[in-house]
Each structure stands twice: as C-alpha cells, then as structure tokens.
Amino acid sequence: MLRSLFIIFFYQLLGEAIQKFFEINIPGPVIGLTLLLLTFIFFSKKFTQSKKIIKEISAISHQIINYLSLLFVPIGVGVVMHINYLGDNLFTIFSIIIIGTLATLVFTAIVMEKTINLEKKNGKRR
C-alpha cells in the first residue's frame, strides 16, 4: 500500500513540476495522470513484475476514486460561502449555468451515442 501511495504522490509531484517548468495551462495532477497511464501502457508489456504493482495500485486507486465526490465538498462549501461575489447577476448566472450545462450534456451524449451506433453499423457491413 505504501508503495502504491508513493507512486501516485510521486506522479502528481512530477506533474506539478512539469506544469511549473513549462508553464502549461494543464493542471499538475492531469499531467501526472497522463504520465502514469503512459508508464502503464509502456511498461506492462515489458516486465511481468510491473503487473503486480499495477494490481496493487489498482486496489488503492479504486478505494480513493470511490470517494471522489467527497473531495469536492470543501470547494463546494467555499462557493456557497462566497456566493455573494456573483452580486446582482446571481439569478441570471444560475439560469445560464442550468440551461447551458444541461443542453451541453444532452447534446454531447446524443452526438456520442449516434456516432457509436454509426460506427457499429459500418463495422458490421465490413
């Protein structure tokens, strides 16, 4: 478990360092995620030993990810406590967020489902 935690923390650290060094607009943890993924894809084929580590990290990662929602509570509370920053526009902003977000969500889901089905049909014809 300690080894897995170390690897996860280390990759985040690596991501943060790269983000600061190259001054890119992508958050450190997302860079860490990408690097860890690339490491797995690249090394799991080369060493059978790394399969064991992947299994170990997998167990702990699923544990953390199960509580992903909880981790957003502190920021969410911050938003509620600072909601007056939005000022007179509060109602307008909320309306735009609700309509805009839900429309985007449905639009994207429909586009994706349609293209997946299209791909399936084309695949069958071939």
Partner 1 sequence: MAREDKLYKIWVYLQAEPLFWITLTLGAYLVGDYLYKKSKLNPLVNPVAISILIVSSVLLFLDVSYDRYFEGAKFIHFMLGPATVALAIPIYEKRNLITKEVKPIIFSICLGIPFAILITFYLGKFFGLSNEMILTMIPRNVTAPIAMGISELIGGIPSLTAIITIITGIIGASLGTFLLNVFKIKDMSARGFAFGLASHGIGTARAMSKNKTAGVFAALAMGLSGIATSLFVLIIIKLLI
Q: Segment 61-80, which members bind partner 1 (CB under 8 A)? A: 61-62, 64-80
Contact between 47 and partner 1 by CB under 8 A: the answer reads no
Contact between 52 and partner 1 by CB under 8 A: the answer reads no
Give min distance, CB of 118 to partner 1, in A: 8
Give min distance, CB of 109 to partner 1, in A: 4
Please give the residues from 107 up to 126 whose contact with partner 1 meets the rule CB under 8 A: 107-113, 115-117, 119
Structure token pair of residue 119:
């791909």
Residue 2 or 73 with smaller CB distance to partner 1? 73
Length of the chain, in residues: 126
CB atoms within 10 A of CB 60: 16
Residues 6+ apart with CB under 8 A from 69: none
Could you tell me if residue 47 is left (phi over 0), alpha (psi between -120 and 50 degrees) or otherwise beta? beta
Q: How far is CA 35 from CA 13, 26, 47, 109, 124, in A?
A: 11, 13, 18, 28, 35
Contact between 41 and partner 1 by CB under 8 A: the answer reads yes
Q: Please give the distance of CA 11 from its chain centroid, rounded to a whole number.
A: 15
Give min distance, CB of 49 to partner 1, in A: 17
Give min distance, CB of 2 to partner 1, in A: 14
Please give the residues from 21 up to 40 whose contact with partner 1 meets the rule CB under 8 A: 25-30, 32-34, 36-37, 40
